[in-house]
């Protein structure tokens, strides 16, 4: 049976003097998979990519490409290509000459390379731009050419280091769809580095979520979002409410916080009665004046209303605990003002519970979070 693994990392560690950039990374990436390395700045994702590319050597562990250990194989001998954020196109060369360059390095004559160049230009929908110089192209067009140049020699894997970071918001969204379509069309393994959770969730088959050099969870977007393995993953992916509480009835699966009892469903068996925990509910799960009965229902004061176009972000005070809810613009009653007492609630299976000590790993984006 043919090996379906494109890249395998075994116990990979990378140290720079006393600093550990990546620690104990293990993963098997399948052929044709869109695999993302996701995490905040400094988490080790780019270092991991550079080790796969051969631009850094691991301190410990093995990197395998197509079943071969390549720890000591130089970058130009590895059957992978890298696309960087700055495109790295040659400004004095036309688009065609830029794309031809890696084939020229392999001593492939231009007449033989022409069909290959034409194929990748069609793939990125840039057939009409072959004779232009990079400076005559927009940012999105230059990114497409950089992608075409990396694909022309049909690598076993394409490594992409935040390639859309220099683009404006709407163009970045459009390019996410382009990248995913291209990857599915060519069937090449993509390893994608990003700190943007939306990019990773939109395009990836699987995601490795990293923090401080360690992998917290590897899974598909649904697993990462709905079943986060740690409080860090829960905080980094999507928008989550965190409430300090304690377990009051393990068998009945109840926790107490701010004078309220929260019912939850949890398959973890290691929580004990009176244990301090984090009670977590996603903002979109917090229902306001729900039309149907929910397992957890409370009276709370509306403190803040923020209009976000397609929805409203509402902030409530629940006996001293701050809770946020996202409500569709179509459902929100604009006559409701701050100071109003409203019924908020959610179901037991909308609640996640984590040990209180994991609060140290939560990503907080606020002026006083330092």
pLDDT score recorded for residue 140: 87
Please indicate, yes or no, if residue 16 is contained in any of the structural domains: yes
Whether residues 218 and 255 share a domain: the answer is: no
CATH code for the domain of 96: 3.40.50.300
For the stretch 168-177, what's the b/e string if a residue is b when 16 or more beta carbons lie within 10 angstroms of its beta carbon?
Answer: eeeebeebbe
62, 199, 249, 266 from 272: Cα distances, Å: 40, 38, 9, 13
Whether residues 46 and 117 share a domain: the answer is: yes
Please indicate, yes or no, if residue 321 is contained in any of the structural domains: yes
Whether residues 125 and 226 share a domain: the answer is: yes
For the record, the structure tokens of 334 come out as 């604009």
CATH code for the domain of 295: 2.40.50.100
Instruction: Report residues of the chain scoring pLDDT below 50.
Output: 1, 366-370
Distance CA 312, CA 331 (A): 10
Residue with tokens 């072959």: 130
pTM, two decimals, is 0.90
Please indicate, yes or no, if residue 367 is contained in any of the structural domains: no
Distance CA 275, CA 247 (A): 5
pLDDT score recorded for residue 345: 96
Please indicate, yes or no, if residue 184 is contained in any of the structural domains: yes
Cβ-based neighbour number of residue 269 at 10 Å: 6
Q: Please list the alpha-helical segments (H only) found in 40-168.
A: 45-53, 95-105, 110-123, 139-151
Contact 35, 25 (CB under 8 A): no
Contact 318, 264 (CB under 8 A): no
Whether residues 147 and 19 share a domain: the answer is: yes
pLDDT score recorded for residue 171: 85
Into how many domains does the chain fold?
A: 2
Whether residues 197 and 317 share a domain: the answer is: no
| Domain's final residue, options 231, 262, 281 | 231
Whether residues 142 and 164 share a domain: the answer is: yes
Whether residues 222 and 246 share a domain: the answer is: no
Please indicate, yes or no, if residue 366 is contained in any of the structural domains: no
| Domain's final residue, options 199, 231, 263 | 231
Does an H or E element contain 170, and which? Answer: helix 169-186
pLDDT score recorded for residue 2: 59
pLDDT score recorded for residue 29: 98
Whether residues 61 and 176 share a domain: the answer is: yes
Distance CA 100, CA 94 (A): 10
pLDDT score recorded for residue 227: 95
Whether residues 245 and 115 share a domain: the answer is: no
Whether residues 79 and 185 share a domain: the answer is: yes
Whether residues 159 and 189 share a domain: the answer is: yes
Half-sphere exposure at residue 331, Cβ-oriented, CA atoms within 13 angstroms: 14
Q: What is the DSSP string of 263-320?
A: E---------TT-EEEEEEEGGG-EES-SS--SEEEEEEEEEEEE-SSEEEEEEEETT
pLDDT score recorded for residue 330: 94
Please indicate, yes or no, if residue 370 is contained in any of the structural domains: no
For the record, the structure tokens of 84 come out as 């960087």
Please indicate, yes or no, if residue 151 is contained in any of the structural domains: yes
Q: Which domain holds residue 261?
A: 239-358
Please indicate, yes or no, if residue 369 is contained in any of the structural domains: no
| Domain's final residue, options 210, 231, 252 | 231
Whether residues 181 and 270 share a domain: the answer is: no
Beta bridge partners of 281: 241, 351
22, 122, 137, 190 from 30: Cα distances, Å: 21, 26, 34, 10
pLDDT score recorded for residue 267: 59
């Amino acid at each position: 049976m043919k090996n379906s693994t494109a890249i395998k990392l075994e116990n990979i560690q990378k140290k720079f003097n006393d600093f550990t950039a990546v620690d104990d990374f293990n993963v098997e990436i399948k052929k044709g998979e869109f695999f993302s390395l996701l995490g905040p700045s400094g988490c080790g994702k780019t270092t991991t990519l550079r080790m796969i590319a051969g631009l850094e050597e691991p301190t410990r562990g093995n990197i395998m490409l197509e079943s071969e250990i390549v720890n000591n194989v130089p970058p130009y001998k590895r059957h992978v290509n890298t696309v960087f954020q700055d495109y790295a196109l040659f400004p004095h060369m036309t688009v065609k000459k830029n794309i031809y360059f890696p084939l020229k390095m392999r001593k492939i004559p231009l007449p033989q390379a022409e069909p290959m160049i034409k194929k990748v230009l069609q793939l990125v929908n840039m057939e009409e731009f072959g004779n232009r110089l990079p400076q005559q192209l927009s940012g999105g067009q230059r990114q497409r050419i950089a992608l075409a140049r990396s694909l022309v020699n049909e690598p076993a894997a394409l490594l992409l280091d935040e390639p859309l970071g220099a683009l404006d918001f709407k163009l970045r969204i459009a390019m996410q769809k382009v990248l995913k379509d291209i990857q599915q069309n060519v069937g090449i393994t993509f390893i994608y580095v990003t700190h943007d959770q939306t990019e990773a969730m939109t395009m990836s088959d699987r995601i490795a979520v990293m923090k401080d050099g360690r992998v917290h969870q590897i899974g598909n977007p649904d697993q990462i979002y709905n079943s986060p393995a740690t409080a860090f993953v829960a905080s980094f992916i999507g928008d989550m409410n965190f409430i300090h509480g304690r377990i009051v009835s393990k068998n009945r699966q109840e926790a107490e916080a701010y004078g309220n009892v929260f019912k939850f469903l949890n398959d973890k068996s290691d929580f004990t009665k009176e244990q301090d925990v984090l009670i977590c509910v996603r903002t979109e799960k917090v229902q306001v004046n729900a039309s149907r009965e929910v397992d957890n229902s409370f009276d709370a004061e509306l403190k803040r209303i923020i209009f976000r176009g397609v929805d409203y972000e509402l902030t409530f005070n629940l006996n001293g605990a701050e809770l946020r809810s996202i409500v569709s613009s179509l459902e929100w009653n604009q006559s409701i003002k701050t100071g109003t007492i409203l019924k908020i609630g959610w179901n037991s299976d909308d609640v996640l519970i984590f040990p209180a000590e994991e609060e140290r790993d939560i990503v907080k984006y606020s002026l006083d979070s330092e």
